[in-house]
């Protein structure tokens, strides 16, 4: 995408099939940051993001973008993978471990809330003055809705992700969310591994 932009293309969008997307938030990070100075707050955010990035690299997951308390990543986007769903769920498990370890070491109570879906997505450059590489489409939208609409912190997955991983990972019913004109079931990943 960068090479195409450098060659003069301004409207660049690519469709990708069989991509698994995770959209994660750190709940409680804003409240924690309010109690800290800017340097200490940035140090905590950088520490967590660096650990998230290392876990992503381990599992072949690619960070698309992050904000101070949010993290959007995908698997199968630039490197097609037959096991992208499993890799993304394992990555989410590592994110939960990172947050749990951070809380145990610091005494804070930051919590992970994430949504995972799989399907077709579109990627491209957005903006003009400050170009941003981003991802959108049904899988991104559903992952984001699960992350925002979940009743409690944890990792929530779509029906398709659940069906692909329920033989190796324990889940509990996570409720439903409204997508367009229908209800979509969600599943909450248990931290105990089978």
**Torsion sign (Cα): 103, 107, 110, 111:** positive
**Two structure tokens written together for 173:** 């019913």
The length of the chain, given as a count of residues? 194
Strand blocks (E) in the chain: 13-27, 62-66, 70-75, 111-126, 132-136, 154-158, 171-179, 182-189
Read off the pLDDT of residues 37-56 as tens digits, 9 standing for 90 and up.
889 888 988 999 999 999 99
Q: What percent of the chain has pLDDT over 70?
A: 88
pLDDT (mean) for 87-108:
96
**Average predicted confidence (pLDDT) for the chain:** 88
Alpha carbon distance 111, 55 (integer Å): 17
d(CA 29, CA 54): 20
CB 110 within 8 A of CB 44: no
Mean local confidence (pLDDT), 181-193: 85
Give dist(CA 49, CA 162) in Å, integer: 26
Handedness of CA 158, 118, 99, 112 (dihedral sign): negative
The confidence score (pLDDT) of residue 128 equals 61
pLDDT at residue 75, as a whole number = 97
Write down the residue that tokens 């699960």 correspond to. 146
Give residue 112's pLDDT. Answer: 95
Task: Compute the average pLDDT of residues 153-160.
Answer: 96
| 122-156 tens-digit pLDDT | 887 666 665 566 788 999 999 999 988 777 899 99
User: Which residues have a Cβ under 8 Å from the Cβ of 70 and sit 6 or more positions away?
Assistant: 23, 24, 25, 26
Best CA proximity match to 139, nearest among 84, 57, 83, 82: 84
As a whole number, mean pLDDT of residues 30-39 equals 85
Quick count: other Cβ atoms within 10 Å of Cβ 107? 6
CB 85 within 8 A of CB 161: yes
Instruction: Name the helix (H) or strand (E) containing 98.
Output: helix 84-106
């Amino acid at each position: 995408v960068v090479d195409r932009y450098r060659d003069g293309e301004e409207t660049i969008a690519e469709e990708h099939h069989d991509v698994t997307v995770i959209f994660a938030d750190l709940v409680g990070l804003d409240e924690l940051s309010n109690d800290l100075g800017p340097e200490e707050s940035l140090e905590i955010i950088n520490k967590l993001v660096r650990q998230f990035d290392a876990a992503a690299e381990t599992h072949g997951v690619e960070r698309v973008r992050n904000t101070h308390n949010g993290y959007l990543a995908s698997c199968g986007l630039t490197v097609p993978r037959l096991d992208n769903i499993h890799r993304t769920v394992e990555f989410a498990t590592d994110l939960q471990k990172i947050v749990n370890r951070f809380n145990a070491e610091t005494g804070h109570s930051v919590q992970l809330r994430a949504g995972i879906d799989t399907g077709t997505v579109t990627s491209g450059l957005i903006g003009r003055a400050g170009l941003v590489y981003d991802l959108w489409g049904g899988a991104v939208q559903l992952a984001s809705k699960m992350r925002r609409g979940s009743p409690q912190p944890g990792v929530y997955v779509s029906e398709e992700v659940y069906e692909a991983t329920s033989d190796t990972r324990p889940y509990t019913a996570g409720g439903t969310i409204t997508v367009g004109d229908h209800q979509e079931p969600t599943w909450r990943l248990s931290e105990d591994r089978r």
